[in-house]
Structure formats: C-alpha cells, structure tokens
Structure 1
Amino acid sequence: MFNKKLFYIGFIYFFSGLPFGFFYTFIPVFFRSEGIDLKTIGLFSIAGLPWSLRLLFAPFIDRYFYKSFWMGLSLIGISISIFALSFFTPATVGFFIFLFFLTFFSTLFDTASDGFVVEWIPSEILGKANGIRISAYRISLIIFGGGIVAISHYLGFKIIFYILSLITFLSGIFLIFNSFLKVSSKKVSISFTSQFIEPLKEILKRDRVFLLLFFVLTYKIGDALLGAMVYPFWVDRGFNRLEIGLISGTLGSVFTILGSLLGGYLTSLWSIKNSLLILGFFQSFSNLGYTIASLPYLPKETVYFASFFESFSGGLGTAAFLTFLTNLCKREFSSTQYAVFSTLFNLSLTFSRTFSGYGVSYLGYTYFFLITFFISLPPLFLIFWIIKDN
C-alpha cells in the first residue's frame, strides 16, 4: 500500500513540474527562435502571474470535490491550453491568453497536490514522500525544460505541443477516474477571519516588518532578472536548440539540484543569517559569469561555464532562502503565512522578468547582466537589519 502511494506521489509531482519547465525554458527559446523581440519575451512573463496567487484558490479546493478531481481537471486544462497554443502565432494576444490559462491550471494543480499530500500520506512515510516529490519535480523540470528544447531540434516545435497536450490529457483522465486517489477530507467550517486575517495581523506586528517584506520581495530579484534573458541570450549567441536544451536546460538543472542539496546541507550547519549572506553572495556573484560570457570574441566554453556556475549558485541561494521562509512561519499559521511570503516572492519574480526584455533592448546583454549583479547586492545588506545575531 505504502509503495503504491509513493508511486502516485512521484507521478503527481512529475506533472507538477511540466508547466514550469515548459513556461520558463521552452517558451523563451521558442519565442527567440521564431524571431520575437526581447521586450515581448519579457512582457509575456506576466502570464505567470497565477503562480503568485495560490492563496486565492486554496479555500475552494479545500471545500469542494476530491483533490484528485482538481488535479485531473487541472491537467486537462493544461492539455487544452498547450494544444490551443499550437494554433496561434507566437507572442499574439491569443497565445498570451492560453499561456495564462496554462499557468492558471498549473496553480490549481500545485495547490491541490500539496493539500493531497497532507491528507493522503501517513506521517511515518512523509519523509520518503517528500524526497520523492522533490526528485520527481526536478526530473520533470529537466525533461520538460531543456529536454523538450533539445528534442525540438529534431522534431520541430509543433510536435512538442501535440505530445505534451496528449500526455497531460490522458494523465488528467487517469487521475479523475482513479478511485484509489479519492480521499474525502474533513469539511471544517473556518471563518474568513481565522483563515486569512489573523495570520496577516501576526506578520504585521513583527519588528521591522516592512524591511522583512521588502527583503522577501527582493532577495532573488537579481537572479530572476538574469534568468529571464538567459535563454534568449543563448539563441542570440548562436547556439542551436540541441545545445541549449542539453547544456543550459538539462545539465544546468542538474547543477541547480546539486546546488540545492549542498545549500540545504550548509544551511543545516550554519546560522540562517550566515547562510543567507554567504550563499546569497555566491548567487549574486554568479551573475558576473554571464556578464563576462556576453563579451564578444570569447569562446563558447565561456557560456558553458557561466551557465553551470549560475545554476549551481542559484540552487545555493534558493536553499537558504526557502529555509528562511519556512522559519518565518508560525506553526499555528504555517500554511497561510507561507502562502503570503511565497506569493510576495513570486510576484517579484514575475514582474522583474516582465521588464527584463526592456533592459536588454536598451543596454545590451553585457551591461544588463552587470546591472543585475548590482541590483542583487542591496538585499544582502538588509540581512543585518532583519535577523538578530545568534
């Protein structure tokens, strides 16, 4: 029974990573390969806004139907969205609408799946389940990010849309009609005040709360600004889709996983203050790698190194930051407060990516990448203000 449950957890979180890899890796390469300008590529990042609004959807998913129904319905919605995208010219209004629908249904899927784990997995195997869900999600990012970019080198873009649409549709049907996954959660009537207002009031009562919220908003902003233009840069530098998919998308994701594992280990040894400072500095410093790699007449191998260093360092910083966010949450308000902080964090990623195309268009890659390094530094100084010495 337990092995079967672990299998389904891996299955579910494998599909949780599909829209994110597709949106943040495949779509920028697709756009730039089709000649879409950098401003438009950046602006289309606003279609990822639903990922920042999970807090709005959670109460409905908790109150109505089975979690497996919501997950299955979401996958069918993702399938329809991807299929519809194949019929629109890139970067048109219609394309944006269905890209927005894609991230909307992805948000529903993620919200339902996280709640499903809480309801369905016994505490004695929760550790194993968490390991499997993280691994499955990361593998999915590799396959549906760099993997499909590499495959598109041989199959073309159109067939990729069809393949993803088919597998998500069939998987959605499978989840909806799978009786093994139908778990009836306890329908408890929770007041709006208790569910939303009290956790927010507790946050706002903290010392230097606005500095804290500003730090959450900006800690990863330099990384996000750079990341939005990495794949267009690879295209403009003359790399083919096979190289982009295998080196930046796939191997880069592997280095991110390694960085996350090392960052998690170091964070467990160090104080959270030192972890945010040291690992955050490496996260910022890695932006200089792309700054150097964007200089003319340097060999291709320079871009390879910049990619691996940036991916690895980004994993280091993310591990420290997620630990920090978790520690910010009071136990009695854990879910809601984490949703508040993660919403704030995701909003900064979405909007910074949205305007990154303008930065490259006016400044060029080299100066833009250099500026992202300097933008990433001020949040590190805030750490001295918001975290008391241990």
Structure 2
Amino acid sequence: MTSRARRIGIQAPLGFSSGLPLYLTGSTLAAWLTQEGLSYKTIGAFALVSLPYNFKWLWAPAMDRWAPPLLGRRRGWMIVTQALLAIAIAALGAMDVAASTGVVALLAFAVAFLSASQDVVVDAYRTEVLPDDERGRGTGAYVGGYRIGMLASGFAALLMASTIGWRNVYWILAALMTVGVAASLAAPAPPAIRPPASLRAAIVDPLADFFSRRGAVVALAFVMLYKLGDAVAGQMVVPFLLREQGFSLADIAWIQKLVGSGATIVGVAAGGAVIDRVGTRRGLLYFGAAQALTNAGYALLAVTGRSHAGLIAAVAVDNFCNALGTAAFVAYLMSICNRRYSATQYALLSSASSVLGRVLNATSGYVIDLVGWVGFFSTTIALAAPALLLWRRLPHAVAAAPPKTDRPSIGALARGFAGLAAAALLAYGGLRLAARDWGHASPALLFGLGLAAFAYFGNVLRAAPADEPVDPDDVP
C-alpha cells in the first residue's frame, strides 16, 4: 500500500471510532431509558450529558500543548481516549438505569467527554496528515467510517437490544473501540509540527485570531443557529416513535437507522456536488431551507398515526435534506478556520454549532406536555428561521487574514466572549420564559440583549469600510 493510500485509508477506521460513541449517549440511550419506563422529562434532561461535545474547545488547546509519552500528540491522545472510552462504555452497560439514574448520567457524561476529546485529536490528525490534494477523499473515507460507526451504535444496537439485552449491546460496542486503537497504532505519523510554546499561544492566539476578523460575531451566531431545529427534534424522535406511535425497536432500527444512514450518505455526496456548482454561501441558504422543512414529516405522522410507509418517507427525506445542510455547513466551517489554528478553531466552531440545541433539548419534554407532538415538531421548523434571516448578514470574507499585529486584541476577545455569554443568557432566559418563571427570565433576557448589543456594535464600530465581496470558496 502506498503512503498516499495509507493516509487516506486510515481515516475510515478512525471515523468509525469517532462515530461509534455518539448514539450511546443520545438516541440509543434514550431508547433504553424509554423501555425502562422513565418519564419524557427525565429522557429530555439526559440531553445535557452530551454537553462536552459543545465545550470541547475548552480543553482542545491542552491537547495541542501537551502530549502523552508515546506516539506523539495526535496518535498518543487518540489511543488514550479510545482505551478510556472502551472502559466507560462497558461500565455504562453494566448499570441498572431505572435504579441508578444518577450514576448512569455521570457515566454517560464521561463517555461524551472522552468521545469529544477523541474528536478533537482525530480532527487535528486528519488536518495535519492529509495534504490539500488528499483532503477530499480523506474526508470522504472519514465520513463513511463515521456513518458506519453510527450504524453500529444506532441501527445494530437497537436490533440487538431486542434479543440480547442492553447490557450485552453496550459491552459489544465497548469491545469495538479496539478498531480505533488498532487504527491509531497503524496510522502514519503526521508531519512534525512544533507544539505551542505556552498556554497563551495555545489558548489566546487562536481565539484572538478569530474574533479579530470583521464579522466574526455574526458568523459565530450563524454557526450556533444553523442546525438548531434539527438538534432539538433529534433527541425526541425515538421516544416519539416508540411510545407515541408504537413502533418496535426492530422497526426503528431498520427504518430510522438503516434507511436514514443510506439517505445521509447519498445526501452528503449530492450536497458536495451541488456546492461545487453553486458555492458554499448559496448552498447554506438552499439546503438550510430544505432541512428546516423536513420535521414536517414527523408532524404529519403525529396527525395521521402509525404508518410504516409514512415513517420511511419521513426518515428518508429528513436524513437526505439534513445531509445536504451538513455538507454546506462543514464546508463553511472549514472555510472560516485559519489553518494555523485549525484544531482549536474547528473545535470551537463545531462545539458552538450545537450548544443551543443541547440546552433546549432539556426542555423538550415540557414543550411536548404543553403543545403536543404536532406543536413540538412545528416549533422545531420555526427554530430554523433565525439562521436563514441572519444569512443575508453573513460576512463574505470572515476567513480573510486578520490585521497584522504583534499582540492579540483584548477588545476582540472581550467582544467574542460577550457574544457567547449573550447566547447562553438568552437561551436560559428563553427556558425560564417557557416555564413562566418571569423573575429569572427578565434579568437573563435583559443582560443577554445588552451583551449581544455590545458584541454586535463593538464589531460594527471597529470595522473598516467593506471591501468588494469575496466568495468564501476563493479565500485561501
């Protein structure tokens, strides 16, 4: 095998190892909790255990700065996280979820933390080991492996659970993490890159680089909102199909997981081809509108009742259109990362992209009790509107090089963190407002709006006159 084929081919098992843990703290765990008779409110609250995926940028600089004693920064950290994941997944499977709900939540949080850490280092490894002319095929191999890993922990797990039980399912999946360990051992070493010399270089410089750019706060807000509707709906689809519609685990395994994964793979390929023709910016609008409407299929299913044909249609359209949106979204994330800081910046952006969805997921059970399933899925469609409205304000050249300076801009960092704090406060205020807790909702919303105004107008006032628009695809 040539070194080129080896670099590309190794991405598939690494993708498998990254995709495998995802459902084990998400929809597969939700199915287990549902079968054990836990309430919708408890199942919805379990969405919070996946928050490490959203905050992995906090410790990504540490994985850039320090390395385990063997195999270097990238392969060394991959093996460490994969081995610990195998242990944590096996421990989670040994639990009685009904009797030890708190311990189950802690173990699920540990799995999510280790999985997010693995994502950080695998993304960094892929960025470093693949030259420009191999990134397309290498990313394709990674995504293909990732989807197979998700099939194993989604489709296969649901199918096996009906015959061998959840404990054995989790133990089998824990053993499959050895695929990632073997891949990490066999992976070619990335080019030697000097690690950051200090914590400032590892933490401050990548953030200052991003937030120093004109339009960075708008771009970050768009990233946080683009997949919001899909993220909120996703946590409750399996409980809806199991308890409300009466589908069996085998039905969901064959239809939602298998058909859905096939539609996703086709959608990603189609989305990539279309983006090459229309550009990333237009793709974000077209595919964002398409993915926004797909939850209407589940709303229709809630009206018409249990139907295998209706479920197949809803799942196929939902996964195909969301894959189109994902193709455009990932291309945009890559376009706004500075290659000098791609590991930390990509971790920041990918974490930010789903943090609001995971927080709002915790209230999904309350929303369902209040407005029913049709109202819930209709609400998730409406949640796509803010990103599509913000699209017109999306900066064309946010990936352009920042102004040359010897020191990071403290003001840029302040505006960036103000934007993040504003998003968190507005999300919390919205949750308290939905719960009719006016005493906590009002100050949170007021402070959130104030911070948002500071972040937005601070960037407007410091921005230089706009240059000629530049297509993001043309930005190096």
Same fold (TM over 0.5): yes
Which stretch has the larger CA shift, 222-231 or 69-78? 69-78
DSSP-derived class of the 1:282 partner: helix
Structure 1 residue 171, shift from structure 2 partner: 4.4
Alpha-carbon contact 2:60-2:347 (below 8 Å) kept: no
Report what 1:197 is aligned to.
204
Report what 1:278 is aligned to.
286
DSSP-derived class of the 2:46 partner: helix
Q: Distance in 1 between matches of 2:283 and 2:130?
A: 31
Alpha-carbon contact 1:287-1:370 (below 8 Å) kept: yes
Report what 1:148 is aligned to.
157
Structure 1 residue 17, shift from structure 2 partner: 0.8
Unaligned runs of 5+ in 2: 397-468, 472-476
Q: Deviations over 1:97-131 (max 9, x none)?
A: 11011111112222222333345456665544333
Report what 1:14 is aligned to.
16
Please state if 1:25 is matched with 2:27.
yes
Amino acid of the residue matched to residue 87 of structure 2? I
Match of 2:79 among 50, 72, 75: 72
Report what 2:380 is aligned to.
372
DSSP-derived class of the 1:228 partner: helix
Report what 2:364 is aligned to.
356
Displaced runs of 4 or more, over 6 A: none
Q: Distance in 2 between matches of 1:7 and 1:330?
A: 26
Please state if 1:213 is matched with 2:220.
yes
Residues 207 and 111 of structure 1: is their aligned pair in 2 closer, same or farther, counting only changes over 3 Å? closer
Residues 70 and 329 of structure 1: is their aligned pair in 2 closer, same or farther, counting only changes over 3 Å? closer
Report what 1:228 is aligned to.
235
Which stretch has the larger CA shift, 181-190 or 216-225? 181-190
Amino acid of the residue matched to residue 19 of structure 2? G
Please state if 1:160 is matched with 2:189.
no
Match of 1:113 among 115, 122, 127: 122
Structure 1 residue 368, shift from structure 2 partner: 0.5
Q: What is the aligned residue count?
A: 388
Report what 2:97 is aligned to.
90
- Which structure has the greater CA radius of gyration? 2
Which stretch has the larger CA shift, 262-271 or 186-195? 186-195
Q: Deviations over 1:64-104 (max 9, x none)?
A: 12333322222221122122112322261100111011111
Q: Distance in 2 between matches of 1:375 and 1:280?
A: 11
Q: Which of 1 and 2 has higher RCO (CA within 8 Å, sep 6+)?
A: 1
Report what 1:38 is aligned to.
40
Structure 1 residue 331, shift from structure 2 partner: 4.0
Structural RMSD (CA): 2.6
Which stretch has the larger CA shift, 303-312 or 2-11? 2-11
Unaligned runs of 5+ in 1: none
Structure 1 residue 243, shift from structure 2 partner: 0.8
Residues 203 and 358 of structure 1: is their aligned pair in 2 closer, same or farther, counting only changes over 3 Å? same
Structure 1 residue 232, shift from structure 2 partner: 0.7
Structure 1 residue 143, shift from structure 2 partner: 2.2
DSSP-derived class of the 1:294 partner: helix
Q: TM-score normalised to the size of structure 1? A: 0.90
Residues 80 and 223 of structure 1: is their aligned pair in 2 closer, same or farther, counting only changes over 3 Å? same
Alpha-carbon contact 1:21-1:140 (below 8 Å) kept: no
Q: Distance in 1 between matches of 2:135 and 2:329?
A: 22
Question: Higher helix proportion, which one?
Answer: 1
Which stretch has the larger CA shift, 303-312 or 122-131? 122-131
Q: Distance in 1 between matches of 2:324 and 2:130?
A: 29
Residues 382 and 175 of structure 1: is their aligned pair in 2 closer, same or farther, counting only changes over 3 Å? closer
Q: TM-score normalised to the size of structure 2? A: 0.75
Q: Deviations over 1:15-74 (max 9, x none)?
A: 111001333331111111221211111111111111123323333333212333322222
Q: Deviations over 1:320-342 (max 9, x none)?
A: 12222222233444333323222
Q: Percent identity?
A: 27
